[in-house]
């Protein structure tokens, strides 16, 4: 289905925009209702990241704030996670991979598992689910993003001598898991490897993350060269909107602090695993 008027009415986006007049939440409220049922299903894949965050937060703290941008309501999370009697059937999540995660989560509750490991498990289920969506460009986006995150994690783990779980089981994930080479055996497999490697060497974490988002932005543009008024264009627009939203909300000092805290939390998780 084509969305001529809808897409023509959207303002142009630039990654250097320093103010935001239209947000991810606005998109869901104003654009999402105008999509066909099949295209809403595809767009839901983007909003599932907020569902993932909501579930993990709830498992940690039942009073945690719920992000309304997700597809799954707090009520559904509460119903599916409430204790049940033996004679009462367990209510299942409407999102199938949530049920898979919950089954795994229940199996490992007795084990001392640190939070990042649960995040990795849920992220892997999410990517696998999204890559089976049936839309070539959107499926490729999730695999590309998974690959970027895995490669960044690999270089980060090597630089800071920490262990980080790799998500997925594609060729890139397997190479990172098994290779001791300087490039993790990825030369010739991942086309942006040289560019990405240079970015990981950037000492300013704020600049590095901004440039990695620029890589994502450029990838989306390349994938949509021959798409004009399709769901793929709207999907890319939403991702770009999120990128701008993130950077508008951060100044350099805040960004540097957040990224440093991320590295420290990863180091702490490794220490906890060894205790």
Domain of residue 195 covers 4-274
Cα–Cα distance, 10 to 222 (Å, whole number) = 19
The pLDDT of residue 110: 54
In the predicted model, what is the mean pLDDT of residues 157-161? 80
Say whether pLDDT at 262 is over 60: no
The better pLDDT of the pair 259, 139 is held by 139
Between the alpha carbon of residue 220 and those of residues 16, 23, 214, 237, the distances in Å are: 16, 19, 10, 9
Categorize the per-residue pLDDT at 125 as very low, low, confident or very high, splitting at 50, 70 and 90.
very high
Name the maximum alpha-carbon separation found in the chain: 58
- Whole-angstrom distance, CA of residue 150 vs CA of residue 176: 8
The percentage of the chain sitting over the pLDDT mark of 90, rounded to a whole number, equals 52
C-alpha separations of 239 from 7, 141, 149, 218 in Å: 15, 10, 16, 12
pLDDT the model gives residue 53? 96
pLDDT at 114: 62
| Mean per-residue pLDDT, 25-53 | 96
CB 167 within 8 A of CB 150: yes
Report the chain's C-alpha Rg in angstroms.
20
* Residue of higher predicted confidence among 2 and 108: 2
- Average pLDDT on 26-55 reads 96
User: Does the pLDDT at position 265 exceed 60?
Assistant: no
The confidence score (pLDDT) of residue 248 equals: 83
pLDDT band at 194 (very low <50, low <70, confident <90, very high): confident
User: What is the mean pLDDT of the segment spanning 240-248?
Assistant: 90
Residue identified by tokens 């994938």 is 223
∠ CA 99-101-102, rounded to 5°: 65
pLDDT grade for 72, boundaries at 50, 70 and 90: very high
Give the pLDDT mean for 27-44.
96
Domain count, the chain: 1
pLDDT tens for 59-70 read: 999 999 999 999
**Would you say residue 133 has pLDDT above 50?**
yes
């Amino acid at each position: 289905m084509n969305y001529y008027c809808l897409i023509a009415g959207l303002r142009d986006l630039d990654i250097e925009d320093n103010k935001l007049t239209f947000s991810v939440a606005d998109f869901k409220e104003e654009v999402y209702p105008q999509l066909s049922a099949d295209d809403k299903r595809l767009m839901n894949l983007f909003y599932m990241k907020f569902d993932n965050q909501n579930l993990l937060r709830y498992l940690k703290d039942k009073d945690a704030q719920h992000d309304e941008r997700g597809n799954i309501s707090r009520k559904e999370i509460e119903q599916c996670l409430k204790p049940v009697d033996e004679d009462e059937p367990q209510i299942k999540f409407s999102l199938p991979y949530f049920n898979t995660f919950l089954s795994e989560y229940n199996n490992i509750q007795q084990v001392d598992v640190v939070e990042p490991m649960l995040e990795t498990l849920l992220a892997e289920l999410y990517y696998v689910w999204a890559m089976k969506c049936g839309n070539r460009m959107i499926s490729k986006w999730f695999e590309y993003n998974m690959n970027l995150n895995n490669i960044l994690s690999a270089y980060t783990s090597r630089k800071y001598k920490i262990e980080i779980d790799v998500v997925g089981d594609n060729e890139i994930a397997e190479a990172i898991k098994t290779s001791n080479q300087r490039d993790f055996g990825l030369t010739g497999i991942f086309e942006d490897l040289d560019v990405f490697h240079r970015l990981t060497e950037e000492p300013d974490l704020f600049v590095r993350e901004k440039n990695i988002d620029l890589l994502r932005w450029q990838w989306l543009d390349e994938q949509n060269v021959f798409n004009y008024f399709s769901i793929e264009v709207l999907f890319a627009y939403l991702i770009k909107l999120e990128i701008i939203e993130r950077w508008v909300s951060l100044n350099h000092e805040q960004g540097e602090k957040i990224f440093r805290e991320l590295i420290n939390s990863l180091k702490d998780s490794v220490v906890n695993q060894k205790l």
